[in-house]
Amino acid sequence: MKNGKFGMAALSMLTVLAMAAAGCGGNEAKPPGSPAPSSEAPAPASPSAEETGGASSGIDWEARKAANQAAGEILYSTGYYYAASSPDVQTVMADELGYFEELGLKVRIQPGLDSQGMKFLAAGQAQISSAGNPSLVITSVDSGAEIKGVATFGSVGVNALMVLEESDIHSPKDLIGKTLGYKGAIPSWVISMLASEGVARDQIKAVSVGYDPRILDGKKLDALTVYKTNEPNMMEKAGIKVRLIDPGEFGGETSFGVVAVNAKFAADHPTAIEDFLRALSKAHQYALEHPEETLKVLEARSASGYDLEAETNRWAVESQLVQEHLHEGRGVAWQADVQWQREMDMLVDAEVIQEPIPLDRVMDNSYIDAIYEGTELIWPE
């Protein structure tokens, strides 16, 4: 197995910290060994799916492979080091299993945070990156980045409100007069949840808290913003019984596991983006069928402490969310306009961005459309 050069801290307690940091930015760091501009003559334009036969058995795979090789090295920046989250799981396994190589792609994986990944994409230092949700891409575009989301693995969110099992809080209106804990900034999906039941922001007490979910005691803190993939498992291990309130039931639905690209690179090398997604789709199925092997690969690529138990739980929860909410008649990671529009609307309502951005500036389904016939992945025979 291939070993990575970058490690990560133990994840069981720090996952939320890094993900929260990813959602609100972080210190910028340059990716080591960023590809230098080529001194060679410009490569011929990459043949698109239509030019090579489209979604049919008539694809000229050798022409695509040549075009992908001409695109040069692709730097992929992960969303949270080697955590077992989409699309990082799929990218690592596509690399490990040789799927990229089979399609003529040269991919280098750089572990990091998605907030940094957006900056690398905007600067042209990375070509593809993980983004935790559409909102991160949208806010980056709003800040001037020329990037787009080309696939989204989770069509529902991983966010939730967590309360103690015996709590009398069951919906947003029950938060009136109560104290809600959040990390960093109040998420836009929380504001949408409150609005769905006519609750004004000043009717609840919202406080910034730390990253240990055991602060949820039902006395000083009544509810806490969490990830379904992390804190509930931590509370269970601590012997504390909790319930989750799903934002999707109260107008706060989100998505997760976005593949974001540098827009110019994607336009110049469409087959490289299509075939990168093609490799991820194939790797996704492998990871579903071989979860233990997949987690071992991720662990091996981390140079320092890796909480295998916590990451196993993360992948179990995430992969279930992905599989249970696939779009009808579509392959994995296909994204609907509504997923992006609802997050756009929440960001506007929360005054994170001033006005909506046209969807074609933040997302593009042409690449993911090109790799499927219905739900069936098109792969070289």
pLDDT tens-digit series, residues 287-324:
999 999 999 999 999 988 899 999 999 999 999 999 99
Q: What digits encode the pLDDT tens for the residues 73-116?
A: 999 999 999 999 999 999 999 999 999 999 999 999 999 999 99
| End-to-end Cα, the chain, rounded Å | 26
Confidence (pLDDT) at 355:
97
pTM, two decimals, is 0.85
- 224 - beta bridge partners? 162, 181
Dist CA 117 CA 78 (whole Å): 7
Burial 34-46 (b: 16+ CB within 10 A, else e): ebeeeeeeeeeeb
CA 210/CA 105 separation, integer angstroms: 42
- How big is the CA angle at 102 (ends 97 and 107), to the nearest 5 degrees? 70
Cβ(141)–Cβ(351) below 8 Å? no
- Residue 63 pLDDT exceeds 80: yes
> What is the C-alpha to C-alpha distance for residues 178 and 198, in angstroms, rounded to an integer?
15
pLDDT per residue over 16-41, tens digit each?
Answer: 333 333 333 333 344 444 433 333 33
| CA pair distance 219, 199, nearest whole angstrom | 21
Predicted pLDDT of residue 337: 97
pLDDT, position 57:
58
- With a cut of 60, say whether residue 145 has pLDDT above it: yes
